[in-house]
Amino acid sequence: MLASNSLIQALKDPLKEIALIRNGALPDAFEDILKPRSFVMKDVLNRLNISAPTYKTKKREKKLLDSSATEKLLRLISTIQLASKIIGDPEAKNWLYREVDSLGGRAPIDLLDTEAGHKLVEQTLQQIKHGIYS
């Protein structure tokens, strides 16, 4: 749980977030956050274009993920936090998997493998917050 707390803290400080991305994070830290919210890791890895075999090996060997996988999973956690604040915690996960018209009919989680997609999803959440989309 300590490792997952450091992920959450890193998202509050851009310099810490950059350092975490560059250094990598343990798979268990992400799972401590995602599994209690009923995210299925195999599905998450597939949607974020993260190699499942590599992820499983890193998890088994207790090694750090590379910067790409770490950044993609941090994007997901950041988006979950924002969606939970705007939409509410139980509904946030459902929203991430629902096709959204303003995202070209794509599910938000399917766009989080790129920074441009992450920005678009966050922009959509801000529009929901201000009543532009629902």
- pLDDT-derived band at 89 (thresholds 50, 70, 90) equals confident
Q: Does the pLDDT at position 40 exceed 60?
A: yes
What one-letter code names the amino acid at 60?
R
Q: What is the pLDDT of residue 5?
A: 79
* pTM of the model as a whole: 0.91
| Burial (Cβ within 10 Å: 0-12, 13-18, ≥19) of residue 116 | exposed
The answer to whether the CB of 35 falls within 8 A of the CB of 76 is no
| Burial (Cβ within 10 Å: 0-12, 13-18, ≥19) of residue 36 | exposed
Q: Which residue has the tokens 């018209």?
A: 101
Mean pLDDT score, 61-65: 97
SS3 (DSSP) at 73:
helix
Please state the domain extents for the chain. Answer: 2-129
